[in-house]
Amino acid sequence: MRRLLKVVHLGRSPYAEVLELQRNLCRQRADGLQPDDLLLLVEHDPVFTLGRGTRPGSLPVPAEALHARGAALYEVERGGDVTFHGPGQLVGYPIIDLTMHREDLHWYLRELESVLIESLGLLGVRGERSQGRTGVWVGDRKIASIGVHVKRWVTLHGFALNVSTDLTWFDLIVPCGLPGVRMTAVAAEGGAPSTVDAVRAIVAPVFARRFGLAPILTEAGTLRPCAAVPGA
């Protein structure tokens, strides 16, 4: 029997709340208190996040200017440079125990790319890799960003797929630290359907199949009561 993947739909949720949830679930998974891999799927209010690889020039706009436009700003432990999350974007946070799959971070990143490329194909968009650059592209345009962290071989953070995102938010940064990069979205490329809910319904089963797991929809409320780990 295949192992389970708990798929959790968080709807539109604040970034800080979901960040704390995934950190707690990561600890639980590593400690054996959470028996199954998870995939958290969410849409965030406008927020910019700075990964460990963020260059000084990647965020040319002062934090105060971002706050004035209604966007939050967080420094986080994931790899990669600065990126944006916001309405119209499907964000996925896999909490995966790689000891049950393959203890290879590069393999994991390529698998995430494969999940997104396959999902885009089902939407009528031809996604592809770009040599030496993590993420998924449509020609010379980037449609999905990936930035992860692994703790005791359990993953957190993940991917962001632009569905109907307001791409002008990316004009405030150097997305992923790539000067001149052009961002795009499923809707901009003529993909259908192009709503976050519809795309979420496609990505979740593709992810489960790619990792050899059986997806089971799990209510967020069943996770939150046990989110805090004593002594963590």
Tokens describing residue 93: 């946070």
User: How many CA atoms lie within 13 Å of 217's alpha carbon, on the beta-carbon side?
Assistant: 4
- What CA–CA distance (Å, rounded) separates 36 from 97? 8
DSSP 3-state of 219: coil
Query: CB neighbours of 221 closer than 8 A, spacing ≥ 6?
Result: none
Q: What angle do CA 53, 57, 62 make, to 5 degrees?
A: 110
Report the C-alpha gap between 206 and 215 in whole angstroms: 10
Active site residue 226: no
Q: Are 159 and 112 in contact (CB under 8 A)?
A: yes
| Closest by CA position to 87, among listed 15, 189, 38 | 15
Catalytic residue (one of 21, 25, 163, 176): 176
Q: Which residue has the tokens 């209604």?
A: 70
By annotation, the residues acting in catalysis are 176
